[in-house]
């Protein structure tokens, strides 16, 4: 494993890919790898791209890759896909446009499934981001699908979160906007050539007016990702936000939140692993049958497992 880490840090893509797979599969050596690479992290610009399906996130990501590449920066992409709760496998989301970059050694695209993971984003998304960072990738783009836990979690991993909206998404956009208003560092109104874009822009600005007293007011960019319109300005805003984080107290605050989340996440994953192991030993056919018949109660069963783990320690 140490050899693999050495090679990945030295720039070997295949070793990097293998490490991410090991981490994604919950390999016991994950912690050891992370301990080794952690001191080398903290240099990359980590961008989160989120928004509802159909907003054009993949096309936009493709243009961001192009723009950063033109600036001579290397770009790693982590595409988080919803995956099947049955098969546990990731969906092969061949994000077709992005594929044209596969011949470019300065671009690394990685698809990760959500795998019914026990905590929001894919198992391993944070670790994969840290790995790419340690291996010297300049820009890391995390693209998530959907409006839900993954969107809430992405701010804990990314420095700069871009929320992509499009005109004409119907009533639910109101709900969406409210939930993501505090996540967004930059707003992107994509498909800006479609009717209704000014209405969406006005609505976003109206909501932003409510939070005027903040040190960073999220800029609102109109883009047409298909032909690249507005992407240059968007990249400027992203870089500007990154600079803002490096200098202000806001940046320090988000760093504190990030490391705190890291520790909590590691703790929770370890505890979950322990609980899963104990639950496996308790999950006999008899117990399952009793639960299904409702003769037994999942709260009592879980209580017994927790007692085995922690003895008489109280939760509260």
Considering the rule CB under 8 A, would residue 206 count as an interface residue with a second copy?
no
Considering the rule CB under 8 A, would residue 1 count as an interface residue with a second copy?
no
Considering the rule CB under 8 A, would residue 264 count as an interface residue with a second copy?
yes
Rounded Cα distance between 75 and 108, Å, is: 7
Among positions 157-176, residues that touch a second copy (CB under 8 A) are 168-176
Among positions 90-149, residues that touch a second copy (CB under 8 A) are 91-93, 95-96, 114, 116-120, 144-149
- Backbone phi, psi, residue 114, to 5°: -80, -20
Considering the rule CB under 8 A, would residue 222 count as an interface residue with a second copy?
no
Residue 105 or 210 with smaller CB distance to a second copy:
210
- Identify the three-state secondary structure at position 163: strand
Considering the rule CB under 8 A, would residue 182 count as an interface residue with a second copy?
yes
Considering the rule CB under 8 A, would residue 207 count as an interface residue with a second copy?
no
Considering the rule CB under 8 A, would residue 210 count as an interface residue with a second copy?
no
Among positions 7-66, residues that touch a second copy (CB under 8 A) are 28, 31, 34-35, 38-39, 41-42, 52-59
Residue 255 Cβ vs a second copy, minimum distance, rounded to whole Å? 5
- Of the candidates 70, 194, 217, 256, which one interacts with a second copy according to CB under 8 A? 256
């Amino acid at each position: 494993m140490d050899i693999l880490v050495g090679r990945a840090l030295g720039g070997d893509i295949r070793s990097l890919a293998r490490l991410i797979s090991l981490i994604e599969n919950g390999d016991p050596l994950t912690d050891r790898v992370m301990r080794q690479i952690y001191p080398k992290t903290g240099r990359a610009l980590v961008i989160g791209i989120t928004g509802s399906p159909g907003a054009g996130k993949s096309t936009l990501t493709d243009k961001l890759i192009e723009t950063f590449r033109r600036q001579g920066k290397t770009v790693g992409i982590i595409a988080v896909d919803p995956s099947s709760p049955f098969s546990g496998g990731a969906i092969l989301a061949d994000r077709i446009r992005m594929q044209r970059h596969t011949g470019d050694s300065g671009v690394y695209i990685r698809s990760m499934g959500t795998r019914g993971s026990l905590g929001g984003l894919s198992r391993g998304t944070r670790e994969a981001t840290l790995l790419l960072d340690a291996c010297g990738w300049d820009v890391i783009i995390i693209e998530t699908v959907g409006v839900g836990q993954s969107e809430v979690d992405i701010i804990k991993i990314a420095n700069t979160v871009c929320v992509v909206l499009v005109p004409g998404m119907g009533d639910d956009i109101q709900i969406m906007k409210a939930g993501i208003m505090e996540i967004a560092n930059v707003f992107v109104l994509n498909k800006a050539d479609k009717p209704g874009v000014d209405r969406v822009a006005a609505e976003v600005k109206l909501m932003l007016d409510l939070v005027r007293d903040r040190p960073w007011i999220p800029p609102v960019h109109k883009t047409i990702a298909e032909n690249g319109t507005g992407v240059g300005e968007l990249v400027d805003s992203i870089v500007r936000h990154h600079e803002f984080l490096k200098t202000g107290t806001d940046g320090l605050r988000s760093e504190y939140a990030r490391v705190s989340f890291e520790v909590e996440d590691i703790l929770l994953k370890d505890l979950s692993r322990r609980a899963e192991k104990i639950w496996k030993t308790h999950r006999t056919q008899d117990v399952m049958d009793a639960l299904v018949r409702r003769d037994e109660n999942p709260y009592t069963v879980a209580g017994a497992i927790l007692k085995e783990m922690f003895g008489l320690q109280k939760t509260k």
